[in-house]
Structure 1
Amino acid sequence: MVRLVTYLNTLLGKAISFAILIGMVIIVYEVIMRYVFNAPTVWVQGYTQRIFGAYFVLLGAYTLIHRGHVRVDLLLNDRFPRWRAFLDVVNYLVLLLWTGALSYQAWSYLEMSWLFNERDDSALGHPIWPIKLALFIGVVLIALQGVAELLDSLRRMIRPDPATATSEESTPA
């Protein structure tokens, strides 16, 4: 299960990472239209906000896989592998609490946005629910990856990797 969730989040993360290119093309188009042809567009700002917003929230699980989130390793440095794994378990349990609360709230936001047909205040009146859907999906993906990382940390706590483990018994107290 751990490998499957990690594989799917990696695949999705690589696919979503191309959204940045779409956003860049739209911004370059806007710059050319605005400064070369003196004809700015109405729609670019709304679409780029949605693209970059979705990009940000949907890459959370991929970032977790590659250890790209901010992390304070003061308690992890120069510690035994089981201790590091134990602290990872604690961190992932807190992450799961956070993602549980956030996914509940994100679902509420999505549901209300859909039911009331919420729209932004731009001239085009874009619907708001797609970005709230991206938030919900992104949080669920982070939670799934958090479960996978938690299971891996539990495995490392019970049976540390011999390649990285230093013998806890032979280290002087």
Structure 2
Amino acid sequence: MAELNEDMPKEPDPGAIAEAGLLGRWIDKGGLLFAAGIVLSMLILLNEVVLRYLFNAPTIWAHETTIFLCGMAFLYGGLYCTARDRHIRVVLIYDSLPPRMRRVFDVVISLICMMASAFFAWASWLMVQKAAFRPDGSFRLERSGSAWDPVFPGLIKVFLLVIMTVMAVQFLILAYNYARGRK
């Protein structure tokens, strides 16, 4: 099987689509940071296995940290797929349309996705209000409640708000560029 893969030509990574604009290119470049987070999670878990089973010295931070890092990468993945136009779509109708109608569909779909992302950003803001602010208005991030007690639950909620807001903006840029016919 390895020989088969070696014979196949390698296509260059296309990156963000042109319609995603400058924001899409930034999002695409940011993907490396979150990919590194997945690798870091693997190294942390490997360290935990060695410490736990070879030295009988488990940590209290490894599991929460890997869940946090993987959660951040998962959230960023939605934004990353948006900038690269790699999200899941039903193409039964879309593929049978002429190019001009596809462009109309691209605009409408992008606007609907922008509204959905904005709605989820608003919903995440409601979560952030509870997770990041005390009733008196002072700032304090929600904590996990474990023995280590990191602020990861509060951080992930703030990150979700940021991602959904940027995703709404990215969909607006896509709709605008699709409507103008810009590549």
TM-score (normalised: structure 1) = 0.82
1:94 and 1:28 mapped to 2: Cα distance? Answer: 42
SS in 1 for 2:94: coil
What is the percent sequence identity of the aligned residues?
27
Is 1:110 the counterpart of 2:135? The answer is: no
Amino acid at match of 2:168: A
Deviation at 1:27, TM superposition (A): 1.1
Is 1:35 the counterpart of 2:53? The answer is: yes
1:51 and 1:21 mapped to 2: Cα distance? Answer: 10
1:155 and 1:14 mapped to 2: Cα distance? Answer: 30
1:2 and 1:43 mapped to 2: Cα distance? Answer: 38
- Is 1:9–1:141's contact at 8 Å kept on the other side of the alignment? no
2:26 and 2:88 mapped to 1: Cα distance? Answer: 23
Is 1:124 the counterpart of 2:148? The answer is: yes
- Which one of the candidate residues 15, 23, 29 is aligned to 2:41? 23
2:97 and 2:164 mapped to 1: Cα distance? Answer: 31
Q: Deviations over 1:21-80 (max 9, x none)?
A: 111111111111122222222111111111111111123222112222211111111221
1:144 and 1:9 mapped to 2: Cα distance? Answer: 12
**Which has the larger displacement, 119-128 or 90-99?**
119-128
- The equivalent residue for 1:62 is 80
Structure 1's unaligned 5+ residue stretches are: 162-173
TM-score (normalised: structure 2) = 0.78
Deviation at 1:10, TM superposition (A): 1.5
Deviation at 1:2, TM superposition (A): 4.9
2:95 and 2:52 mapped to 1: Cα distance? Answer: 52
1:146 and 1:91 mapped to 2: Cα distance? Answer: 9
Is 1:155 the counterpart of 2:180? The answer is: yes
SS in 1 for 2:40: helix
- Is 2:24–2:84's contact at 8 Å kept on the other side of the alignment? no
- The equivalent residue for 2:69 is 51
SS in 2 for 1:94: helix
SS in 2 for 1:121: coil
**Residues 65-104 of structure 1: pairs in structure 2 closer than 5 A:** 65-104=83-122
Q: How many residues align?
A: 158
- Is 1:6–1:148's contact at 8 Å kept on the other side of the alignment? no
Amino acid at match of 2:114: L
